A and B are shown apart, each in its own frame.
Chain A
Amino acid sequence: MASSSSSSLSRVVVKSSDNNLFVVNKKVASQSQLLKQCIDNMEEKGTNDVILIPLSNVTSNILTLVLEYCEKHADFADDDNNNQELKQWDHEFLKKFDYATLNSLTMAADYMVTKSLLNLCCQFIADSIKDLTVQQIRQIFDIKNDFTPQEEADIKNENAWAFR
């Protein structure tokens, strides 16, 4: 029988929803709990073949970004979480995207169970909302105000404590 080390995979192939293939090394893939689970399952079965993991919900341009994130974080995996350089990188990483991309990235992070990326995205969205007025938030995210003026006044009145 094969020893436990020979059945461990070093790489996996991930397929995006638009059928592009990405070869990912195991350490990088393990940043996603979804991919890690797939790898662990296959290793338990003792497969030596390269495995293919299809991701039906993630397009290639978003997958490229998630993998870029995973690669960076895999490099720092042995360091403690408080690494300043990594934090700086995280911030610069998200700053580049428009809100549509950020949305898709957030969804992908959730789907691929990359918790730290999901947290990062949500924190980033929260930070960009934080100091804005309701009107400014609508503008930035192109959100249509579907309240009547009366409804709006009522809500404001009901939640007066939050607007003080």
Chain B
Amino acid sequence: MGERTCSVDRISELPDFILHHVLSFLSTKEAARTGLISKRWQYVWETFPILDCNEWFFGRELDILNPKELGLPKDERRKIFDRRQKFLSYVDEKLQRFPEENLCVNKFLLHITLVSNNLASRVDAWMDLVSDLSVRELDLYLTVGKERFYVLPLKVLAMESLRILNLRGCLLSSSFNRNAIKLTSLIQLHLRDVSIDEETIQDLIFSIRSMEVFSLKNCLGFENLEICDHDKLKKIVYHPHKDLKVKKFSINLPTLEELDFCSVDKDKTACEIVVNSACQNLKRLSLCGIPIDTNWLQSMVSSFPLLEHLFLGGCVLQQVMKLSSSVLKETYLCNCRKLVEAEFDTPNVHLFEYRGKKMPRLNLNSITGDRVAGLSVRLNNMDNSWFLKLNSFLRDNKFHDLTLSMTGSVKKIPFSAKGFMGIQISPFKLNNMTLVTHALTLGNYAGLLDGLFCSVRPQILSLELNYYSPEFLKRLLKSLVVDKPKCCCSEEFQCWRHMLKDVKLINNVKGFQSTTSVLNAMTLKNLTEFLDEWAIEAHKTVQSFGTLIGDTLSFHLCW
């Protein structure tokens, strides 16, 4: 028969597991909606092996621990109660039907707020059911009140089928026998907001011999941590709880490839980090939020012959830092406030990223590769000397990608084009400039553009969309294409508006249709309308679900 017949429903003929695979690329809500297409799709959705039970689907306010204390009126509380009942019966139904019909469950996710102790026993019962299914991935996210924890049933630690276990907001009790842990296939263990003591951590490491990734975030119940005697662990993530004064963290694992340590301790207490030189396979090292002495750092970097990736966030102690390595390929330097001058003798680094408020002198001895800068600045600090400094910072270090985060709220930025006249400055050519703003409005959008384009000439200008201030973006765009510019030309000063040949929209935003890519009055009008709608939608998303995927609007600037 003819192969080109597309007027026949062929997609529904795809086997179940392929359609399940298609659903796995959709959000749970989107996947659930496909159940309404036809009986075939209803069957596909009802047998979908990823059970995602998130209370937020039933109402964002279900995570309010004590609605009465918050002063919510009675009918509101009633509504929350009803929605929670719906959610609970939804989970009940799924967890009964799947084993009954012998359906496979690959992944089980549960997010629930335990507003009462009854709910804890309900979760216990669910865990009982789940542990009998051959689940490969289990993700438990339990919100409990302050100082309270949900005690994880031991049965979960005996699930031999599990590959990935994510626990959040539980208590891993110390009273269990080491032999009760039978996670024989487990590859990844992620603990977050979990209360656990040192001995239990050691028991887990000792018992789960197949584990390759171990992550501890914001956990309480122990002080020092030592990880050794394991022959599979490749990646360790350790982000201590803010109230935890970690004194010593030591690692001795010859198989270790990646270490990520990040402290959120406000006092920046020194912590002794010992990465034994036996960790000869270490490729990626990330250190955040702790005081770093550059001599110590240099000796660390020198002792690992495969170390390719280095991320430093937080405090480099000295004003001057030096680092040399011939194996490093990627270096990230973030928020090192004290830093005034740095020297990197790293000839093989092809990606260098700097983020911060200041613009230190960086002496980079490496191939040019990718060099990315991210600067945050308050609008009221954007004066002439700041723009001059920006120009030479980017030029001296050969950056070709810049992200500017602008904060604060002022009527006008202090830049004045007049002050630039007579100064010989050639704008630095950049590949990409992204503007991020946390400010609501500004008085002189043209002034901001004048300052930026006196200093840099990006080929691509990207604007990060944010829902709370469509106004800023709209006015900035308008200013970019304004027909009759108030020109700042003079004999010794060439205004950027005369150099900019045209602006083309790179349409990468979902839901925006435009017949032409040239940015003119018509496209501007469409964009303005689009931004308004986008902001309303985004605001809704944030309120109902919390997270928002960042969108950017990009333009090609032809100089």
Binding site for B on A (CB under 8 A): 59, 61, 98-101, 103-104, 106-107, 110, 118-119, 122-123, 125-127, 129-131, 134, 137-138, 141-147, 152, 155-156, 159, 161-164
Nearest-neighbour CB distance to chain B for A69, whole angstroms, equals 17
Nearest-neighbour CB distance to chain A for B105, whole angstroms, equals 19
Q: How far is the CA of A84 from the CA of B325 in the complex (A)?
A: 29
Contacting pair B39 A100 (CB below 8 A): no
Closest A-chain residue to B12, C-beta based? A143
Q: Give me 9 A-to-B residue pairs in the complex whose CB atoms sit less than 8 angstroms apart, sorted by A's number.
A: A100-B4, A126-B22, A126-B26, A129-B34, A130-B26, A130-B30, A137-B34, A142-B7, A161-B86
Nearest-neighbour CB distance to chain A for B83, whole angstroms, equals 9
Q: Contacts of A138 on B, CB cut-off 8 Å? A: 37-38
Contacting pair B36 A106 (CB below 8 A): no
The bracket for how many chain B residues form the interface is 35 or more
Known contacts being A98-B6, A131-B511, A143-B11, is A122 close to B22, with CB within 8 Å? yes
Residue in B5, B25, B36, B90 whose beta carbon sits within 8 Å of that of A155 in the complex: B36
Binding site for A on B (CB under 8 A): 3-15, 18, 21-26, 28-30, 32-42, 57-58, 86-87, 90, 510-511, 544
Known contacts being A106-B18, A125-B11, is A100 close to B34, with CB within 8 Å? no
Contacting pair B37 A142 (CB below 8 A): no
Q: Contacts of B5 on A, CB cut-off 8 Å? A: 100
Q: Contacts of A104 on B, CB cut-off 8 Å? A: 3, 10
Known contacts being A99-B6, A99-B10, is A122 close to B18, with CB within 8 Å? yes
Q: Contacts of A162 on B, CB cut-off 8 Å? A: 28-29, 32-33, 35, 57
Contacting pair A134 B39 (CB below 8 A): no
Q: How far is the CA of A138 from the CA of B34 in the complex (A)?
A: 10
Contacting pair B6 A134 (CB below 8 A): no
Contacting pair A144 B29 (CB below 8 A): no
Q: How far is the CA of A145 from the CA of B12 in the complex (A)?
A: 12
Given contacts A100-B3, A143-B11, 15 further A-B contacts (CB under 8 A): A104-B10, A107-B14, A107-B18, A118-B21, A119-B21, A122-B18, A122-B22, A126-B26, A127-B25, A134-B37, A141-B11, A141-B12, A144-B9, A146-B39, A162-B33
Q: How far is the CA of A144 from the CA of B39 in the complex (A)?
A: 9
Contacting pair B22 A134 (CB below 8 A): no
Contacting pair A155 B37 (CB below 8 A): no
Closest A-chain residue to B7, C-beta based? A142
Known contacts being A122-B18, A126-B23, A163-B33, is A142 close to B9, with CB within 8 Å? yes
Nearest-neighbour CB distance to chain A for B131, whole angstroms, equals 26
Contacting pair B38 A98 (CB below 8 A): no
Nearest-neighbour CB distance to chain A for B210, whole angstroms, equals 23
Nearest-neighbour CB distance to chain B for A143, whole angstroms, equals 5
Contacting pair A59 B3 (CB below 8 A): yes
Nearest-neighbour CB distance to chain B for A80, whole angstroms, equals 12
Q: Contacts of A145 on B, CB cut-off 8 Å? A: 37-38
Closest B-chain residue to A140, C-beta based? B11
Contacting pair A152 B30 (CB below 8 A): no
Closest B-chain residue to A125, C-beta based? B22
Contacting pair B36 A134 (CB below 8 A): yes
Closest B-chain residue to A138, C-beta based? B37
Nearest-neighbour CB distance to chain A for B394, whole angstroms, equals 23
Nearest-neighbour CB distance to chain A for B285, whole angstroms, equals 20
Q: How far is the CA of A98 from the CA of B12 in the complex (A)?
A: 15
Contacting pair A161 B57 (CB below 8 A): yes
Known contacts being A129-B30, A131-B511, is A143 close to B38, with CB within 8 Å? yes
Nearest-neighbour CB distance to chain B for A156, whole angstroms, equals 6
Known contacts being A138-B37, A159-B32, A162-B57, is A103 close to B11, with CB within 8 Å? yes
Nearest-neighbour CB distance to chain B for A96, whole angstroms, equals 13
Q: How far is the CA of A131 from the CA of B25 in the complex (A)?
A: 13
Q: Contacts of A141 on B, CB cut-off 8 Å? A: 9-12
Nearest-neighbour CB distance to chain B for A145, whole angstroms, equals 6
Residue in A98, A101, A122, A142 whose beta carbon sits within 8 Å of that of B21 in the complex: A122
Q: How far is the CA of A123 from the CA of B90 in the complex (A)?
A: 28
Q: Contacts of A98 on B, CB cut-off 8 Å? A: 4, 6
Closest A-chain residue to B31, C-beta based? A162
Known contacts being A118-B21, A126-B22, A130-B30, is A155 close to B6, with CB within 8 Å? no
Top 9 A-B pairs, shortest CB-CB distance: A126-B25, A162-B32, A103-B10, A98-B6, A122-B21, A100-B6, A161-B57, A122-B22, A141-B11
